Amino acid sequence: METMIPWVKLGRATLPDGSWLELRQHGNEFVIAADGYDLMVSRVHASEVEMVTLACAKLPPDARILVGGLGMGYTLRAALDAAPPGGRVIVAELLAEVVEWNEGPLGELTDYPLRDPRTEVALGDVGAVIRANPATFDAILLDVDNGPDSLVQPANRWLYTRTGLAAIRAALRPKGTLAVWSVVENASFEPRLRTAGFKPSTHRIRAHGTRALVFLGRT
């Protein structure tokens, strides 16, 4: 008789608005659930890698990349792979528990990107990092929500407003790129990017069971 592999709860974290994240493992598969639904699944990450490929195709030798949201580490790993030896990747993560999960059971999935000497962790809101670093980044990669109007945290709404996009543009260097991951279509976001001074484009990704969009805004 075949033995059923049980789901194991590895950790739980509470977000500022009172909602929660939970890390679960089932054999070699990991899931981060948000209030009971699967927010991230370890076997599905092609769109995160593609987002980095689109945004980081041409980087200077001293490139500075900001990753909004650590998650399972796939975006951070792809950013490190795209960054030059003299580059640096700052990852802004709201929850210390998510950092601990990536230092522990999730680390092997992406070859422990937090151990890379080019990685810097900014524990807190990605918006605060953006506001505090004018003309600093060559790429800003936002993977903190399910889309500009499909928020995981209500406080993230600022990022996609006219004021937030203006702050993001001010944090980018000349020829810098903003990339926003989304699981839902949003016809209004390209015009928002254009109004904020970006040259926008939308890229639809379908690979390895993944269907997502990446909105790009180039300065």
Q: Which amino acid is at 33?
A: A
Lowest mean pLDDT among 16-30, 35-49, 50-64, 78-92: 35-49
Higher-confidence position of 129 and 57: 129
Cα–Cα distances in Å, from 139 out to 53, 144, 171?
11, 15, 9
Higher-confidence position of 208 and 44: 44
* Domain annotation for the chain: domains and CATH numbers: 44-218 (3.40.50.150)
- Tens of pLDDT, residue by residue over 182-211, are 988 899 999 999 999 999 999 998 865 668
Instruction: Give the model's pLDDT for residue 154.
Output: 86
Instruction: Give me 101's structure tokens.
Output: 């999960």
Residue 81: Cβ within 10 Å count: 15
- Tens of pLDDT, residue by residue over 75-102, are 999 999 999 999 999 999 999 999 999 9
**Closest C-alpha to 144, from 183, 96, 170, 107:** 183
Instruction: Give the model's pLDDT for residue 207.
Output: 63
Give CA angle at 117 (113, 121), nearest 5°. Answer: 65
- Tens of pLDDT, residue by residue over 107-121, are 999 999 999 999 999
Whole-prediction pTM value?
Answer: 0.94
**Banded pLDDT at 2 (limits 50, 70, 90):** very low
**Banded pLDDT at 155 (limits 50, 70, 90):** confident
